[in-house]
Amino acid sequence: MKTWIDQLRSTRRISDEALLELLACTDADITEYLHQQAHEVAVQQFGHYIYIRGLIEISNCCKNDCYYCGIRKSNTKVDRYRLTTEQILECCEQGYNLGFRTFVMQGGEDRAQDAEWLITTVKEIRQRYPECAITLSLGEMPREVYQQLYDAGANRFLLRHETYDENHYYQLHPSEMSFANRIASLKTLKEIGFQTGTGIMVGSPGQTLAHLIKDVRFIEQLQPQMIGIGPFIPHKDTPFGNQQAGSIVLTLKLISIFRLMHPSALIPSTTALASLSSDGRERGILAGGNVVMPNLSPVNQRKNYSLYNNKAALGAESAEGLNRLASQLKKIGYAISYERGDFQS
Protein backbone atom coordinates (compact mmCIF):
# COMPACT_ATOMS: atom_id res chain seq x y z
CA MET A 1 0.00 0.00 0.00
CA LYS A 2 2.88 2.39 0.79
CA THR A 3 4.23 1.83 -2.71
CA TRP A 4 0.92 2.99 -4.13
CA ILE A 5 1.06 6.09 -1.97
CA ASP A 6 4.63 6.78 -3.15
CA GLN A 7 3.52 6.34 -6.74
CA LEU A 8 0.54 8.59 -6.18
CA ARG A 9 2.88 11.24 -4.88
CA SER A 10 5.37 10.96 -7.74
CA THR A 11 2.94 10.45 -10.65
CA ARG A 12 -0.25 12.04 -9.23
CA ARG A 13 -2.10 9.02 -10.49
CA ILE A 14 -3.67 5.98 -8.89
CA SER A 15 -5.66 3.05 -10.28
CA ASP A 16 -9.28 2.46 -9.29
CA GLU A 17 -8.24 -0.76 -7.53
CA ALA A 18 -5.56 0.93 -5.44
CA LEU A 19 -7.85 3.84 -4.66
CA LEU A 20 -10.57 1.50 -3.46
CA GLU A 21 -8.15 -0.34 -1.18
CA LEU A 22 -6.76 2.88 0.17
CA LEU A 23 -10.22 4.25 0.95
CA ALA A 24 -11.24 0.98 2.60
CA CYS A 25 -7.97 0.53 4.50
CA THR A 26 -8.28 0.73 8.29
CA ASP A 27 -4.58 0.29 9.07
CA ALA A 28 -3.61 3.38 11.08
CA ASP A 29 0.00 3.05 9.97
CA ILE A 30 -0.93 3.35 6.29
CA THR A 31 -3.30 6.23 6.93
CA GLU A 32 -0.61 8.04 8.86
CA TYR A 33 1.85 7.51 6.00
CA LEU A 34 -0.69 8.89 3.52
CA HIS A 35 -1.20 12.01 5.64
CA GLN A 36 2.56 12.49 6.05
CA GLN A 37 3.13 12.38 2.31
CA ALA A 38 0.28 14.79 1.64
CA HIS A 39 1.44 17.11 4.39
CA GLU A 40 4.94 17.20 2.92
CA VAL A 41 3.55 18.08 -0.50
CA ALA A 42 1.42 20.87 0.99
CA VAL A 43 4.45 22.28 2.82
CA GLN A 44 6.52 22.14 -0.38
CA GLN A 45 3.81 24.12 -2.16
CA PHE A 46 2.73 26.62 0.48
CA GLY A 47 5.27 26.50 3.30
CA HIS A 48 3.92 26.43 6.84
CA TYR A 49 1.23 28.95 5.96
CA ILE A 50 -2.55 28.76 5.89
CA TYR A 51 -4.63 31.08 3.74
CA ILE A 52 -7.69 32.65 5.32
CA ARG A 53 -10.96 33.53 3.58
CA GLY A 54 -13.63 35.65 5.22
CA LEU A 55 -16.99 33.91 4.83
CA ILE A 56 -20.03 36.17 4.56
CA GLU A 57 -23.31 34.25 4.59
CA ILE A 58 -25.41 36.69 2.60
CA SER A 59 -28.79 34.92 2.67
CA ASN A 60 -30.32 31.80 4.15
CA CYS A 61 -33.30 31.94 1.78
CA CYS A 62 -33.21 29.16 -0.79
CA LYS A 63 -35.47 27.96 -3.56
CA ASN A 64 -33.92 24.48 -3.41
CA ASP A 65 -34.88 21.61 -1.18
CA CYS A 66 -31.72 19.51 -0.85
CA TYR A 67 -32.46 16.73 1.63
CA TYR A 68 -29.28 17.27 3.65
CA CYS A 69 -29.32 21.01 4.06
CA GLY A 70 -30.67 22.89 7.07
CA ILE A 71 -31.70 25.95 5.04
CA ARG A 72 -33.71 23.93 2.49
CA LYS A 73 -36.92 25.61 1.44
CA SER A 74 -39.18 23.13 3.28
CA ASN A 75 -37.58 23.80 6.64
CA THR A 76 -40.19 26.12 8.14
CA LYS A 77 -38.25 26.47 11.39
CA VAL A 78 -35.58 28.66 9.85
CA ASP A 79 -35.65 32.34 10.70
CA ARG A 80 -34.91 33.65 7.20
CA TYR A 81 -32.70 36.67 6.56
CA ARG A 82 -30.93 38.34 3.71
CA LEU A 83 -28.14 40.87 4.09
CA THR A 84 -28.30 44.20 2.30
CA THR A 85 -25.43 45.44 0.16
CA GLU A 86 -24.59 47.87 2.98
CA GLN A 87 -24.41 45.06 5.54
CA ILE A 88 -22.17 43.03 3.26
CA LEU A 89 -19.89 46.04 2.77
CA GLU A 90 -19.69 46.42 6.56
CA CYS A 91 -18.61 42.77 6.82
CA CYS A 92 -15.96 43.40 4.18
CA GLU A 93 -14.71 46.46 6.03
CA GLN A 94 -14.45 44.56 9.27
CA GLY A 95 -12.73 41.70 7.47
CA TYR A 96 -10.33 43.98 5.65
CA ASN A 97 -9.32 45.60 8.93
CA LEU A 98 -8.69 42.16 10.42
CA GLY A 99 -6.40 41.34 7.50
CA PHE A 100 -8.65 39.33 5.18
CA ARG A 101 -7.90 39.74 1.48
CA THR A 102 -10.51 37.28 0.21
CA PHE A 103 -14.22 37.72 0.79
CA VAL A 104 -16.46 34.74 0.15
CA MET A 105 -20.12 35.52 -0.37
CA GLN A 106 -22.08 32.36 0.28
CA GLY A 107 -25.83 31.92 0.35
CA GLY A 108 -28.86 29.96 -0.65
CA GLU A 109 -30.26 30.27 -4.15
CA ASP A 110 -32.29 33.31 -3.19
CA ARG A 111 -34.47 34.72 -5.97
CA ALA A 112 -34.69 38.09 -4.24
CA GLN A 113 -30.93 38.62 -4.39
CA ASP A 114 -31.26 38.58 -8.15
CA ALA A 115 -28.59 38.93 -10.81
CA GLU A 116 -28.86 42.70 -10.95
CA TRP A 117 -28.50 43.09 -7.18
CA LEU A 118 -25.58 40.68 -7.08
CA ILE A 119 -23.77 42.40 -9.90
CA THR A 120 -24.19 45.79 -8.23
CA THR A 121 -22.93 44.38 -4.94
CA VAL A 122 -19.90 42.72 -6.50
CA LYS A 123 -19.03 45.94 -8.38
CA GLU A 124 -19.23 47.89 -5.15
CA ILE A 125 -16.89 45.49 -3.31
CA ARG A 126 -14.53 45.44 -6.29
CA GLN A 127 -14.38 49.22 -6.32
CA ARG A 128 -13.71 49.55 -2.60
CA TYR A 129 -11.23 46.67 -2.36
CA PRO A 130 -9.33 46.53 -5.63
CA GLU A 131 -6.63 44.24 -4.26
CA CYS A 132 -8.97 41.69 -2.66
CA ALA A 133 -10.29 38.48 -4.17
CA ILE A 134 -14.05 38.08 -4.37
CA THR A 135 -15.33 34.51 -4.17
CA LEU A 136 -18.96 33.58 -4.78
CA SER A 137 -20.70 30.46 -3.49
CA LEU A 138 -24.26 31.06 -4.59
CA GLY A 139 -25.26 28.03 -6.60
CA GLU A 140 -26.35 27.51 -10.17
CA MET A 141 -27.02 30.43 -12.50
CA PRO A 142 -27.31 30.96 -16.24
CA ARG A 143 -24.02 31.41 -18.09
CA GLU A 144 -24.77 35.09 -18.81
CA VAL A 145 -25.08 35.82 -15.12
CA TYR A 146 -21.87 34.00 -14.25
CA GLN A 147 -20.18 36.00 -17.00
CA GLN A 148 -21.61 39.30 -15.75
CA LEU A 149 -20.50 38.54 -12.21
CA TYR A 150 -17.02 37.77 -13.50
CA ASP A 151 -16.99 41.00 -15.47
CA ALA A 152 -18.18 42.85 -12.36
CA GLY A 153 -15.03 41.71 -10.60
CA ALA A 154 -15.67 38.33 -8.99
CA ASN A 155 -12.62 36.07 -9.26
CA ARG A 156 -13.56 32.72 -7.80
CA PHE A 157 -16.64 30.53 -7.51
CA LEU A 158 -17.35 27.58 -5.22
CA LEU A 159 -19.93 25.04 -6.33
CA ARG A 160 -19.62 21.57 -4.89
CA HIS A 161 -20.90 18.88 -7.22
CA GLU A 162 -21.83 16.91 -4.04
CA THR A 163 -21.64 13.53 -5.85
CA TYR A 164 -20.71 12.47 -9.37
CA ASP A 165 -23.03 9.49 -9.34
CA GLU A 166 -26.29 10.53 -10.97
CA ASN A 167 -28.48 8.10 -8.99
CA HIS A 168 -26.84 9.17 -5.78
CA TYR A 169 -27.35 12.81 -6.78
CA TYR A 170 -31.10 12.20 -6.82
CA GLN A 171 -30.93 10.48 -3.43
CA LEU A 172 -29.61 13.77 -2.09
CA HIS A 173 -31.66 16.21 -4.18
CA PRO A 174 -35.27 16.39 -5.35
CA SER A 175 -36.01 15.71 -9.01
CA GLU A 176 -36.57 19.43 -9.71
CA MET A 177 -32.81 19.80 -9.46
CA SER A 178 -30.53 18.71 -12.26
CA PHE A 179 -27.32 16.75 -11.98
CA ALA A 180 -26.50 17.62 -15.59
CA ASN A 181 -26.89 21.33 -14.93
CA ARG A 182 -24.69 21.11 -11.85
CA ILE A 183 -21.87 19.60 -13.85
CA ALA A 184 -22.44 21.92 -16.81
CA SER A 185 -22.33 24.93 -14.45
CA LEU A 186 -18.90 23.89 -13.22
CA LYS A 187 -17.58 23.61 -16.75
CA THR A 188 -19.05 27.03 -17.58
CA LEU A 189 -17.43 28.62 -14.54
CA LYS A 190 -14.05 27.28 -15.58
CA GLU A 191 -14.52 28.40 -19.18
CA ILE A 192 -15.38 31.93 -18.08
CA GLY A 193 -12.13 32.05 -16.15
CA PHE A 194 -13.24 31.78 -12.54
CA GLN A 195 -10.88 30.00 -10.19
CA THR A 196 -13.39 27.26 -9.61
CA GLY A 197 -13.96 25.08 -6.60
CA THR A 198 -15.93 21.91 -6.33
CA GLY A 199 -16.20 19.09 -3.85
CA ILE A 200 -18.32 16.73 -1.86
CA MET A 201 -19.69 15.82 1.52
CA VAL A 202 -18.11 12.63 2.82
CA GLY A 203 -20.53 10.07 4.20
CA SER A 204 -23.69 11.59 2.78
CA PRO A 205 -26.59 9.13 2.97
CA GLY A 206 -26.30 6.41 0.34
CA GLN A 207 -22.68 7.21 -0.52
CA THR A 208 -20.44 4.24 -1.28
CA LEU A 209 -16.69 3.97 -1.88
CA ALA A 210 -17.50 3.39 -5.55
CA HIS A 211 -19.20 6.81 -5.60
CA LEU A 212 -16.11 8.38 -4.05
CA ILE A 213 -13.95 6.90 -6.78
CA LYS A 214 -16.22 8.58 -9.33
CA ASP A 215 -15.81 11.87 -7.45
CA VAL A 216 -12.04 11.53 -7.52
CA ARG A 217 -12.13 10.87 -11.29
CA PHE A 218 -14.46 13.77 -11.96
CA ILE A 219 -12.19 16.14 -10.04
CA GLU A 220 -9.18 14.74 -11.89
CA GLN A 221 -10.91 15.56 -15.15
CA LEU A 222 -12.26 18.99 -14.16
CA GLN A 223 -8.98 20.15 -12.56
CA PRO A 224 -10.62 22.67 -10.26
CA GLN A 225 -8.45 25.22 -8.49
CA MET A 226 -10.19 24.56 -5.17
CA ILE A 227 -11.42 21.30 -3.64
CA GLY A 228 -13.80 21.37 -0.66
CA ILE A 229 -14.18 18.14 1.29
CA GLY A 230 -16.17 17.98 4.50
CA PRO A 231 -18.04 15.31 6.41
CA PHE A 232 -21.82 15.15 6.07
CA ILE A 233 -23.42 16.22 9.35
CA PRO A 234 -27.16 15.70 9.90
CA HIS A 235 -29.46 18.64 10.52
CA LYS A 236 -32.37 17.72 12.78
CA ASP A 237 -35.03 19.51 10.71
CA THR A 238 -34.24 17.79 7.41
CA PRO A 239 -35.23 14.41 5.96
CA PHE A 240 -31.70 13.21 6.84
CA GLY A 241 -32.01 14.34 10.46
CA ASN A 242 -31.59 10.82 11.83
CA GLN A 243 -28.71 9.78 9.60
CA GLN A 244 -25.17 9.29 10.84
CA ALA A 245 -22.48 11.88 10.34
CA GLY A 246 -19.72 11.13 7.85
CA SER A 247 -16.41 9.69 8.97
CA ILE A 248 -13.62 12.07 9.94
CA VAL A 249 -11.03 9.42 9.10
CA LEU A 250 -12.39 9.01 5.56
CA THR A 251 -12.64 12.78 5.11
CA LEU A 252 -8.99 13.18 6.08
CA LYS A 253 -7.92 10.38 3.75
CA LEU A 254 -9.67 12.10 0.86
CA ILE A 255 -8.02 15.42 1.67
CA SER A 256 -4.65 13.66 1.50
CA ILE A 257 -5.47 11.86 -1.74
CA PHE A 258 -6.58 15.13 -3.35
CA ARG A 259 -3.44 16.89 -2.12
CA LEU A 260 -1.25 14.21 -3.72
CA MET A 261 -3.21 14.29 -6.97
CA HIS A 262 -3.50 18.10 -7.09
CA PRO A 263 -0.42 19.53 -5.33
CA SER A 264 -1.21 23.19 -6.03
CA ALA A 265 -4.96 23.06 -5.36
CA LEU A 266 -6.43 25.19 -2.61
CA ILE A 267 -7.95 22.70 -0.17
CA PRO A 268 -9.76 24.01 2.90
CA SER A 269 -9.79 22.33 6.23
CA THR A 270 -13.55 22.78 6.32
CA THR A 271 -15.89 24.18 8.94
CA ALA A 272 -17.76 20.86 8.90
CA LEU A 273 -14.56 19.05 9.91
CA ALA A 274 -13.95 21.57 12.69
CA SER A 275 -17.60 21.31 13.77
CA LEU A 276 -17.53 17.53 14.08
CA SER A 277 -14.32 17.30 16.08
CA SER A 278 -12.52 19.78 18.32
CA ASP A 279 -9.21 19.10 16.58
CA GLY A 280 -10.75 18.67 13.12
CA ARG A 281 -9.27 21.85 11.69
CA GLU A 282 -5.74 20.91 12.75
CA ARG A 283 -6.11 17.36 11.49
CA GLY A 284 -7.36 18.66 8.13
CA ILE A 285 -4.24 20.80 7.83
CA LEU A 286 -1.91 17.98 8.84
CA ALA A 287 -3.63 15.82 6.19
CA GLY A 288 -2.79 18.36 3.47
CA GLY A 289 -5.33 21.20 3.74
CA ASN A 290 -4.04 24.76 3.32
CA VAL A 291 -7.05 27.08 3.68
CA VAL A 292 -9.48 27.99 6.46
CA MET A 293 -12.61 30.07 6.09
CA PRO A 294 -13.48 31.94 9.29
CA ASN A 295 -16.98 33.34 9.61
CA LEU A 296 -17.33 37.04 8.89
CA SER A 297 -21.15 37.18 8.85
CA PRO A 298 -22.97 39.54 11.22
CA VAL A 299 -22.79 37.78 14.59
CA ASN A 300 -26.54 37.94 15.26
CA GLN A 301 -27.36 36.09 12.01
CA ARG A 302 -24.82 33.28 12.27
CA LYS A 303 -27.14 30.95 14.16
CA ASN A 304 -29.62 31.22 11.29
CA TYR A 305 -27.17 29.94 8.69
CA SER A 306 -27.33 26.46 10.08
CA LEU A 307 -26.58 23.99 7.29
CA TYR A 308 -26.09 21.19 9.85
CA ASN A 309 -26.31 20.69 13.62
CA ASN A 310 -23.71 22.45 15.80
CA LYS A 311 -22.08 24.29 12.91
CA ALA A 312 -19.09 26.16 14.30
CA ALA A 313 -19.18 29.92 13.75
CA LEU A 314 -17.44 31.25 16.85
CA GLY A 315 -13.97 31.07 18.37
CA ALA A 316 -11.30 30.10 15.88
CA GLU A 317 -14.01 29.61 13.22
CA SER A 318 -14.85 33.31 13.41
CA ALA A 319 -13.16 36.34 11.94
CA GLU A 320 -12.98 37.94 15.41
CA GLY A 321 -11.21 34.82 16.63
CA LEU A 322 -8.20 35.17 14.31
CA ASN A 323 -5.85 35.41 17.30
CA ARG A 324 -7.17 32.16 18.65
CA LEU A 325 -6.85 30.59 15.20
CA ALA A 326 -3.28 31.86 14.98
CA SER A 327 -2.35 30.34 18.34
CA GLN A 328 -3.97 27.01 17.46
CA LEU A 329 -2.10 26.96 14.16
CA LYS A 330 1.14 27.81 15.91
CA LYS A 331 0.83 24.65 18.00
CA ILE A 332 1.04 22.58 14.84
CA GLY A 333 3.84 24.71 13.40
CA TYR A 334 1.77 26.97 11.16
CA ALA A 335 1.03 30.67 10.76
CA ILE A 336 -1.74 32.55 9.00
CA SER A 337 -0.84 33.93 5.57
CA TYR A 338 -2.39 37.35 5.00
CA GLU A 339 -1.76 37.10 1.27
CA ARG A 340 -4.69 36.97 -1.09
CA GLY A 341 -3.68 33.43 -1.98
CA ASP A 342 -4.69 32.92 -5.59
CA PHE A 343 -4.27 29.57 -7.28
CA GLN A 344 -0.84 29.17 -8.81
CA SER A 345 -0.14 26.21 -11.01
Residue 233 sits in the site that holds ligand 5AD (CB under 6 A)? yes
Residue 291 sits in the site that holds ligand 5AD (CB under 6 A)? no
Alpha helices, H only, the chain: 2-11, 16-24, 28-46, 85-98, 115-128, 143-152, 166-172, 179-192, 209-222, 248-261, 271-276, 280-286, 322-331
The CB-side HSE value for 20 (13 A sphere, CA atoms) comes to 8
The separation between the first and the last C-alpha atoms of the chain, rounded to the nearest angstrom, is: 28
Kindly tell me which residue out of 232, 258, 305, 334 binds ligand 5AD, with binding defined by CB under 6 A.
232
Q: Stretches 50-58, 144-152, 225-233, 281-289: which one binds ligand 5AD (CB under 6 A)?
A: 225-233
Residue 307 sits in the site that holds ligand 5AD (CB under 6 A)? yes
User: Considering CB under 6 A, how many residues would be counted as binding ligand 5AD?
Assistant: 12
Kindly tell me which residue out of 101, 173, 235, 253 binds ligand 5AD, with binding defined by CB under 6 A.
235
Residue 282 sits in the site that holds ligand 5AD (CB under 6 A)? no
Instruction: Give the distance, in angstroms, between the CA of residue 114 and the centroid of all CA atoms in the same chain.
Output: 23
Residue 229 sits in the site that holds ligand 5AD (CB under 6 A)? no
Rule CB under 6 A: which of 82-111 touch ligand 5AD?
A: none
Kindly tell me which residue out of 205, 224, 230, 289 binds ligand 5AD, with binding defined by CB under 6 A.
230
The sign of the torsion formed by the CA atoms of 274, 62, 56, 126 equals positive
Q: Which residues contact 312 (CB under 8 A, 6 or more apart)?
A: 271, 274, 275
Kindly tell me which residue out of 67, 103, 308, 334 binds ligand 5AD, with binding defined by CB under 6 A.
308
The number of residues making up the chain comes to 345
Burial of 131 (0-12, 13-18, 19+ CB in 10 A): exposed
CA distance 231 to 273: 6
Q: Which three-class secondary structure state does DSSP give residue 135?
A: strand
What track of x and - describes contact with ligand 5AD for positions 137 through 166 (by CB under 6 A)? -----------------------x-x----
Residue 222 sits in the site that holds ligand 5AD (CB under 6 A)? no
Beta carbon of residue 322, minimum distance to ligand 5AD (angstroms, whole number): 22
Kindly tell me which residue out of 69, 83, 149, 212 binds ligand 5AD, with binding defined by CB under 6 A.
69
Q: Stretches 2-10, 44-52, 217-225, 229-237: which one binds ligand 5AD (CB under 6 A)?
A: 229-237
- 226: enclosing H helix or E strand: strand 226-231
Residue 272 sits in the site that holds ligand 5AD (CB under 6 A)? yes
Q: How many CB atoms lie within 10 A of CB 88?
A: 22
Q: Which residues bind ligand 5AD (CB under 6 A)?
A: 68-69, 160, 162, 201, 230, 232-233, 235, 272, 307-308
